[in-house]
Amino acid sequence: MFKKILIANRGEIAVRIIKACQEMGISSVAVYSEVDRESLHVQLASEAVCIGPAPAIESYLNIDKIIQASRQAGAEAIHPGYGFLAENSEFARSCEKEKLVFIGPNSKALALVGDKIRSRQTMEKAGVPIIPGMKNIPKDLSEYKQAAQKIGYPVMIKASAGGGGKGMRIVDNPKDLKSYLEAGQREAKSAFGDESVYLEKYIEEPRHIEFQVLADNYGNIVHLFERECSIQRRHQKIVEETPSQALDLKLRTLMGETAKKVMQVSGYNNAGTVEFLLDKNKNFYFLEVNARLQVEHPVTELTTGVDLVHQQILIASGEKLSFKQEELFQRGHSIECRIYAEDPVNNFLPSSGRVTFLKEPKGPGVRHDCGIYSGCDVPIYYDPILAKLIVWAENRENACQRIVNALDDYVVLGINTTISFLKEVINHPQFRKGKTTTSFIKMYFDKWEGKKKTEENLRLALIASAFDSFNKTYTGKSAGPAQKEIFSPWLSLGKWRLGGGK
């Protein structure tokens, strides 16, 4: 087993991985950019190395700096988390060259599944059902135009190098193709350092069903059942659950075995996810492999009892899988809500700045994977995910009740979050019925303006404000300004170059 692992990430996922290291008796090394000195992952790791300025390209995406930090700290392995360099096969190759274990698939498999075009070809050959689409990355716009015509609108623009909705666009109308391609390429470049995008047929109102797979270095492969991630906004998953309401035992088994086949023909090892679209008639199509730990991995953990991060580390260290497919089963139901720093009543505008107060939800069956704390600063540079709220309960109905309750028990002040929006999503009658498709948000929440406030709560807010002012008058103390202000010599914004010139 490894003695020391470097975590090439930040935020909630870095915290999650550091916890796993602690439990396995492994030293953890955090890396951080200059704005992340006070971040939770830096506080929790055994060691911490600063790897450069705030922009990800100069720090969390800087392969040389990360390899150097690993050498300096004497780490034997690197866990990339999700995003950043997690699916960068050049990074995996660099690790291999430096004799650092990359906790993820081998670089060859990573390159194959990371190349959406090549992997589609491979899957097609292996008899895995795929969505009609381009078989290569075109050189110029005219090729894209031709391909789109051939596939038939609406078409989907997708980044070749990564997922997570980055670079993704739906094109309904030929006249939008050019500008959407440009935007997609820019986003892909900024997210993955590779601007390649391709087109495929856009399947309307499908469910997004994915299968978690674990493969050791000796050819043993198991799947850990599905996750349904149909609730998406801007192609970004926001609510995930398992089991899916759309699968029965037969379909679950068929899709699971297909997922294992996908991994087998890719020569894949470690943890990975095979994404499918499921159409209205229960036909499923291979979408892509997510060659990393997924944001939504906890719902699988809570229903199968398998700790996926522990398994990733065990597999990377050369252990064989300790369980067989027939020993795995799902118990109960699990739902995850992603908490983003976005303003749900203002077109989901990103919301950075200081978290003046945080109350974490808790209780039986409630898990909160969290990268923030009361008084922390949320920088503009990175993904807006702040935390994930995950619940487990005996059945779907109880899980819905529990997560709504936990969302009510969740308070973030100072920045905007999606908490109130998520509560409405879970409470929607169609969600409660399990009628979830990737069009769900567009259909039911396109013009959401927030929930109406009640008179009674307004009155209570006023009473609290008056009480706070009352105490301020008499003691000179009150609920603010955020206490940290006192100690921190600078605000996040103070470091920015404001206005004019470069």
Partner 1 sequence: MEYEFLVNSVLHKISLEKKENIFLVSDGKKTFKADICFISPNVISILIEGRSHKVYLARDKDKMYISLEGEQFIVQEPLESGESFQKSEEKSQEHELMIKAPMPGKVIKINVSEKENVRKNQTLAIVEAMKMENEIKSSIEGYVKKILVSAGDLVDSENPLMELVKKRGVP
Position 279: which residue type?
Answer: D
Q: Which residues contact 309 (CB under 8 A, 6 or more apart)?
A: 16, 17, 20, 79, 293, 297
**H or E element in which residue 255 lies:** helix 249-265
Q: Which of 176, 182, 307, 343 binds a second copy (CB under 8 A)?
A: 307
Q: Which of 5, 14, 30, 101 binds partner 1 (CB under 8 A)?
A: 30
Six-digit token string for 94: 């660099």
254 touching partner 1, by CB under 8 A: no
364 touching a second copy, by CB under 8 A: yes
Distance CA 58, CA 417 (A): 27
Binding residues among 469-498 for partner 1 as defined by CB under 8 A: 469-471, 473, 477-484, 486-488, 493, 496-498
Q: Which of 323, 373, 445, 448 binds partner 1 (CB under 8 A)?
A: 373
Closer residue to a second copy in complex, CB, 194/301: 301
Check if the beta carbon of residue 473 is closer than 8 Å to that of residue 359: no
**Residue 263 CB, nearest distance to a second copy (Å)?**
23
**H or E element in which residue 239 lies:** strand 236-242
398 touching a second copy, by CB under 8 A: yes
**Residue 478 CB, nearest distance to a second copy (Å)?**
9
Residue keyed to tokens 């000796």: 218
**Residue 164 CB, nearest distance to partner 1 (Å)?**
9
Q: Which residues contact 27 (CB under 8 A, 6 or more apart)?
A: 3, 4, 5, 21, 46, 47
Q: Which does 466 bind (CB under 5 to 8 A by kind): a second copy, partner 1, none?
A: partner 1
Total residues in contact with partner 1, by rule CB under 8 A: 86
Closer residue to a second copy in complex, CB, 487/490: 487
Q: What is the DSSP letter of 438?
A: T
Binding residues among 378-397 for partner 1 as defined by CB under 8 A: 380-384
Separation in Å, CA 161 to CA 155, 168, 260: 18, 11, 22
Q: Which of 1, 3, 37, 129 binds partner 1 (CB under 8 A)?
A: 37
Six-digit token string for 372: 């923030």
**Residue range at the interface with partner 1 (CB under 8 A); choices 2-10, 96-104, 237-245, 459-467:** 459-467
Q: Which does 298 bind (CB under 5 to 8 A by kind): a second copy, partner 1, none?
A: a second copy
* 367 catalytic per annotation: no
Q: Which does 368 bind (CB under 5 to 8 A by kind): partner 1, a second copy, none?
A: a second copy
Nearest to 7 by CA among 56, 57, 49: 49
**Residue range at the interface with partner 1 (CB under 8 A); choices 213-221, 272-280, 303-311, 368-376:** 368-376
Six-digit token string for 287: 């979408």
**Residue range at the interface with a second copy (CB under 8 A); choices 220-228, 305-313, 341-349, 437-445:** 305-313
The pattern of x and - marking residues 43 through 82 that bind partner 1 according to CB under 8 A reads: xxxxxxx----------------------xx---------
Q: Which of 139, 433, 447, 453 binds partner 1 (CB under 8 A)?
A: 453
Give me the DSSP letters along 10-28. Answer: -HHHHHHHHHHHHHTT-EE
Q: Which of 153, 357, 444, 448 binds partner 1 (CB under 8 A)?
A: 357
Position 283: which residue type?
Answer: N
In this structure, the dihedral spanned by the alpha carbons of residues 408, 403, 365 and 221, taken in order and rounded to 10 degrees, is -150
Distance CA 181, CA 144 (A): 9
Give me the DSSP letters along 256-292. Answer: HHHHHHHHHHTT--EEEEEEEEE-TTS-EEEEEEE-S
Annotated catalytic residue: which of 10, 292, 367, 396? 292
Binding residues among 299-318 for partner 1 as defined by CB under 8 A: none
Closer residue to a second copy in complex, CB, 234/331: 331
Closer residue to a second copy in complex, CB, 198/431: 431
Check if the beta carbon of residue 309 is closer than 8 Å to that of residue 22: no
**Residue 402 CB, nearest distance to a second copy (Å)?**
6
3 touching partner 1, by CB under 8 A: no
Q: Which does 245 bind (CB under 5 to 8 A by kind): partner 1, a second copy, none?
A: none
**Residue 242 CB, nearest distance to a second copy (Å)?**
15
Distance CA 329, CA 360 (A): 30
Nearest to 310 by CA among 10, 6, 18, 7: 18
The three-state DSSP-derived secondary structure of 372-414 is CCCCCEECCCCCCEEEEEEEEECCHHHHHHHHHHHHHCCEEEC
Binding residues among 423-482 for a second copy as defined by CB under 8 A: 471, 475, 477
Catalytic residues, by residue number, are 292
- Where along the sequence are the contacts to a second copy (CB under 8 A)? 16, 19-20, 22-25, 298, 301, 305-307, 310, 331-332, 360, 362-365, 367-369, 393-394, 398, 401-402, 405, 408, 471, 475, 477, 483, 486-487
